[in-house]
């Protein structure tokens, strides 16, 4: 069974990416997983300057998920290019660089330098970061800022550009349209959902950073809806992500409109889950007499009954 998919010019043998920040540089998981069975690894985000990251605790377990606030700890692009990137050539799957920043220029600068390396097959823009120039507003939460960041990165590379959208917005479809118009080749939907947890024994927030990003099965329905909405708004492919643990979860995302999926938090429970999902997809497509992932993508996406009924769903 051919499970290959394309995200712009990026060809993946399997539709399974490992989520940024969950899989380190790939080296950490190499003793545990046969990486030939992975579609690709989205690397941990890198920034212009080195970052120490957030104070601990950086992780909190929550019902059906977890909160994290790592704070983009990374060595900075100079050190990264000099010491880390060459090692990526050894991995038997596609390596996708992840770029984060705090200004439009940061994204352009880091994208240009990282995308120039042969070891990197594509770039994911992690735009869920605060923009220093506009009082810390998150790039991904503002259509114009999203457009500017994506345009700036687009002008620096011809390699496939995946833009990771935040669910912490009112209209994710509108942001998706801006990213597409600005030159994105694909959209990763969704990043983590903002959240917090308070220790009632100490009356203190549990995370050192106070707030964090919620991931895991707890956010899956939020993510499925976001993929569904984005798929109606854009023509470029979508990488669906948010709490995928099983083949059934993966199918939901494809049916909602995803071309590929990304697995993050589930690797923490069992690093073989991505391989099992590929096996499950082969079996499923065979049983159903289908030929490819494209036979699933968006097949449940028939719009909303009517806007008034949709509003009422929340009640």
Q: Which spans of this chain sit near other proteins (rule: CB under 8 A)?
A: 21-24, 28-29, 31-32, 44, 49-53, 56-61, 64, 66, 68, 70, 73, 75-76, 79, 83, 265, 267-272
User: In angstroms, rounded to a whole number, what is the distance separating the alpha carbons of residues 253 and 185?
Assistant: 19
* Cα 236 to Cα 7, 33, 126, 194, distances in angstroms: 8, 30, 18, 26
User: In angstroms, rounded to a whole number, what is the distance separating the alpha carbons of residues 242 and 223?
Assistant: 5
Of 92 and 312, the one with the shorter C-beta distance to other proteins is 92
- Catalytic: 177? no
**119 and 89 in contact (C-beta within 8 Å)?**
yes
Compute the least distance from the CB of residue 123 to other proteins, in Å: 20
Compute the least distance from the CB of residue 132 to other proteins, in Å: 14
Of 70 and 187, the one with the shorter C-beta distance to other proteins is 70
Compute the least distance from the CB of residue 9 to other proteins, in Å: 28
Of 159 and 164, the one with the shorter C-beta distance to other proteins is 164
Compute the least distance from the CB of residue 44 to other proteins, in Å: 7
Of 38 and 169, the one with the shorter C-beta distance to other proteins is 38
Compute the least distance from the CB of residue 127 to other proteins, in Å: 20
Of 76 and 173, the one with the shorter C-beta distance to other proteins is 76
Using alpha carbons only, give the angle 74, 63, 215 rounded to the nearest 5 degrees: 35
Q: Which of 22, 93, 129, 141 is catalytic?
A: 129
Question: Which residues participate in catalysis according to the annotation?
Answer: 129
């Amino acid at each position: 069974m051919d499970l290959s998919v394309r995200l712009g010019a990026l060809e993946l043998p399997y539709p399974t990416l490992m989520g940024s920040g969950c899989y380190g540089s790939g080296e950490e998981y190499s003793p545990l997983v046969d990486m030939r069975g992975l579609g690709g690894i989205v690397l941990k985000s890198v920034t212009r300057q080195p970052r120490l990251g957030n104070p601990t605790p950086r992780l909190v377990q929550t019902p059906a998920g977890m909160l994290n606030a790592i704070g983009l700890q990374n060595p900075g692009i100079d050190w990264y290019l000099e010491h880390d990137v060459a090692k990526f050539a050894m991995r038997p799957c596609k390596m996708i660089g992840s770029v984060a920043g705090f200004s439009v220029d940061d994204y352009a600068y880091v994208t240009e330098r990282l995308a120039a390396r042969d070891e990197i097959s594509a770039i994911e823009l992690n735009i869920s970061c605060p923009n220093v120039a506009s009082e810390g507003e998150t790039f991904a939460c503002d259509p114009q800022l999203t457009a500017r960041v994506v345009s700036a990165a687009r002008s620096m590379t011809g390699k496939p550009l995946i833009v990771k959208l935040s669910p912490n917005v009112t209209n994710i479809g509108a942001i998706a349209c801006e990213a597409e118009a600005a030159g994105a080749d694909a959209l990763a939907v969704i990043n983590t959902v903002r959240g917090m947890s308070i220790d009632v024994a100490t009356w203190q927030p549990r995370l050192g950073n106070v707030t964090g990003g919620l991931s895991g099965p707890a956010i899956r329905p939020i993510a499925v809806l976001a993929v569904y909405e984005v798929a109606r708004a854009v023509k470029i492919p979508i990488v669906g992500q948010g709490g995928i643990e099983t083949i059934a979860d993966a199918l939901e995302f494809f049916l909602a409109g995803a071309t590929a999926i990304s697995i993050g938090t589930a690797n923490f429970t069992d690093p073989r889950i991505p391989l099992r999902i590929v096996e499950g997809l082969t079996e499923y497509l065979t049983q159903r007499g289908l030929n490819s992932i494209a036979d699933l993508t968006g097949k449940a996406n028939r719009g909303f009954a009517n806007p008034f009924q949709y509003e009422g769903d929340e009640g």
